[in-house]
């Protein structure tokens, strides 16, 4: 992973997942110094290098710092369900075939900001939890339990068995997010950027909602749509 803020956040939340940190020689700032001090306090190795080796998926400014980290720990279906058992009114986010790592990272950041309890991703139909996702999430990923499931449909069925409502966002649905009770134990399903929610996944829906639009555009980017719905859920829950 790379970038000052994501690495600082990981040092604060999960320092043991960092194997080493490389800092570009000649780069100096108070935030880089904070990384050095925090890393040393946690016995994380810090190296000063003349050149940053860029991973294949690094397509943005590394800000003079890069960290070698262990893969992000994910939960099995069973572990995720055990975690949810401790929640009174869970709010879960399930993403169906989100392939863009920038969208995935932005959604993770929003989910944490909106107080989501967990995220469900299909193993074979999702962008991986890469350095780009970590960077775009601005350090939010370590704060969100993630379940990588081999069968999203079956996972949604397990949630329904625990009285968690499945709410799918669909373009043109007659029921809007503003006319729907979203204070229930809820799993919000967001579909892919191009094709939306797959038919087999949609069949699990207890609720189908849309975001009302009055302009010439009839759809939103997946990460923007997730943000609009998640914060409407929190608005309703706060008011209730």
Q: How confident is the model at residue 69 (pLDDT cuts 50, 70, 90)?
A: confident
Residues 90-96 have a mean pLDDT of 96
CA 227 to chain CA centroid, nearest Å: 11
Say which CATH topology domain 4-69 has: 60s Ribosomal Protein L30; Chain: A; (3.30.1330)
Closest-CA residue to 118 (of 150, 156, 80): 80
Tell me the CATH number for domain 77-239: 3.40.1280.10
Which burial class, exposed, middle or buried, applies to 205 when counting CB atoms under 10 A from its CB (0-12, 13-18, 19+)?
Answer: buried
Q: Tokens 């859920």 identify what position?
A: 233
Vertex 105, ends 104 and 106: CA angle to 5°? Answer: 90
- The rounded distance, in Å, linking the Cα atoms of 238 and 111 is 16
pLDDT digits (tens, 9 = 90+) for 94-131: 999 898 988 999 999 999 999 999 999 999 878 888 87
Residue intervals of the chain classified under CATH 3.30.1330.30 are 4-69
Name the helix (H) or strand (E) containing 20. strand 18-24
Helices (H), 14-130: 30-41, 77-84, 101-113
**What is the pLDDT at residue 57?**
55
- For the record, the structure tokens of 116 come out as 């989501």
Among 70, 126, 136, smallest CA distance to 102 is for 136
Residue with the larger pLDDT of the pair 67 and 106: 106
pLDDT at residue 218 in the model = 67
| Percent of the chain predicted with pLDDT > 90 | 50
Residues of the chain with CATH 3.40.1280.10: 77-239
If one compares 197 and 52, the residue with the highest pLDDT of the two is 197
Q: Give mean pLDDT, residues 193-206.
A: 90
Q: What is the pLDDT of residue 54?
A: 65
CA 149 from centroid of its chain's CA atoms:
15
What is the pTM (predicted TM-score) of this model? 0.79
Nearest to 121 by CA among 7, 232, 141: 141
Q: How confident is the model at residue 225 (pLDDT cuts 50, 70, 90)?
A: very high
Mean pLDDT, the chain, rounded, equals 88
Reported as a single tens digit per residue, the pLDDT across 160-184 is 999 999 999 988 767 899 999 999 9
């Amino acid at each position: 992973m790379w970038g000052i803020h994501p690495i600082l956040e990981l040092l604060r939340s999960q320092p043991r997942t960092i194997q080493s940190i490389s800092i570009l020689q000649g780069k100096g700032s108070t935030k880089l110094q904070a990384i050095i001090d925090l890393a040393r306090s946690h016995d994380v190795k810090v190296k000063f290098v003349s050149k940053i080796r860029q991973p294949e998926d690094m397509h943005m400014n590394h800000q003079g710092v890069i960290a070698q980290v262990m893969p992000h720990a994910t939960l099995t279906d069973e572990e995720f369900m055990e975690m949810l058992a401790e929640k009174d009114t869970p709010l879960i986010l399930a993403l169906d075939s989100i392939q863009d790592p920038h969208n995935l990272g932005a959604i993770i950041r929003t989910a944490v900001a909106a107080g989501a309890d967990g995220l469900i991703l299909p193993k074979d139909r999702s962008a991986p939890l890469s350095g780009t996702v970590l960077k775009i999430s601005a350090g939010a990923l370590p704060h969100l339990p993630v379940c990588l499931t081999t069968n999203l449909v079956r996972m949604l069925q397990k949630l329904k068995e625990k009285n968690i409502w499945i709410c799918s966002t669909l373009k043109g649905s007659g029921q809007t997010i503003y006319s729907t009770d979203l204070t229930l134990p809820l799993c919000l399903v967001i579909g892919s950027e191009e094709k939306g929610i797959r038919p087999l996944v949609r069949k699990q829906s207890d609720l189908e909602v849309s975001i009302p639009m009055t302009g010439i555009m009839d759809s939103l980017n997946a990460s923007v749509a997730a943000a609009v719905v998640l914060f409407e859920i929190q608005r309703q829950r706060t008011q209730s």
